[in-house]
Homo-oligomer: A and B are copies of this chain.
Amino acid sequence: MNFIDELTEALIPEYARFLDTRIWQVLMSDEKSGGGKYPRPLDLWKHYLWETYHYTKHNGVNQALCVRHTPTTEKRLLRAQLRHAIEEIDHDFLALDDLEKMGVDREEVIKSRPEPETQAFSSLIFDLVLRERPIGRLGYSFWAEGCLNAEQLPLVAQRVRYHFDLPDDQMTFLVVHAELDKGHSKAAIKAIEEHVKTDEDKEAVIYFGKATCRMYYHFLEGVFDKFEREQEQLRQLERTAQLV
């Protein structure tokens, strides 16, 4: 079995758990906007973008930090790491732009603290990149750039459109990524084929891939928890208002 197949097989069970997340189920359901269950259904999408901002702002940075413990003689790998970092460096602003168009104050998002699950997702990447084999980060790129399911992002975009009636220019984070990932998923596979050589490299890529996948699951559930806590507060406020 070649390594790409081995990696795919290792990640599939973790990746499949995304289908169990509550945000995915809401999006895939045909009942629009949670079927009236939530006072402000669009807030789900806002929370998703808000938390997404907080981890994507670090992605170009922790990608660049891979060079710290990569051997200085590995020129092609170093260059690939830095080029990828440059491409990632302002993707967080796509999420901010979308939020701004929906009326959310940009500075408020920037100044806020992320949910613990969001922070832990970024921290995991920073920590493994700086304390372990940085080559492992390719295991994250592998699933995050769509190598397991090239159709996922276009599907998400379609469902977000359906549920929230958003125009494309308020969905730049999804629309731009769906386009970019076509090239990125090929680049990730090429980088893995070229640079992942030893058994230690492979083990690092698989562990990093599985661990980031698992923590992204918790990230998505964390977004939904935040949304539910807030909707519950809104419901209570409404009930109180009716009593008065």
Which one, B72, B93, B117, B130, contacts A214 given CB within 8 A? Answer: B117
List, in ascending order, chain B residues with CB within 8 A of A79's CB.
86, 89-90
The verdict on A75 contacting B61 (CB below 8 Å), with A123-B120, A127-B126 known, is no
Contact call B58/A72, Cβ cutoff below 8 A: yes
Main secondary structure of the interface of A (DSSP, over half): helix
List, in ascending order, chain B residues with CB within 8 A of A82's CB.
60, 64, 82, 85-86, 89
Contact call A116/B214, Cβ cutoff below 8 A: yes
| Nearest CB in chain B to that of A84: its residue | B82
A187 interface residue, CB < 8 Å from B? no
Q: Taking the full assembly, how many copies of this chain does it contain?
A: 4
Contact call A67/B67, Cβ cutoff below 8 A: no
A122 interface residue, CB < 8 Å from B? yes
In angstroms, how far is the closest chain B Cβ from the Cβ of A127?
4
| Nearest CB in chain B to that of A207: its residue | B113
Contact call B65/A218, Cβ cutoff below 8 A: no
CA distance A202 to B72 in the complex (A): 23
Interface residues of A (CB under 8 A from B): 57-58, 60-61, 64-65, 67-69, 72-73, 75, 78-79, 82-83, 85-86, 89-90, 92-93, 110, 113, 115-117, 119-124, 126-128, 130-131, 207, 210-215, 218
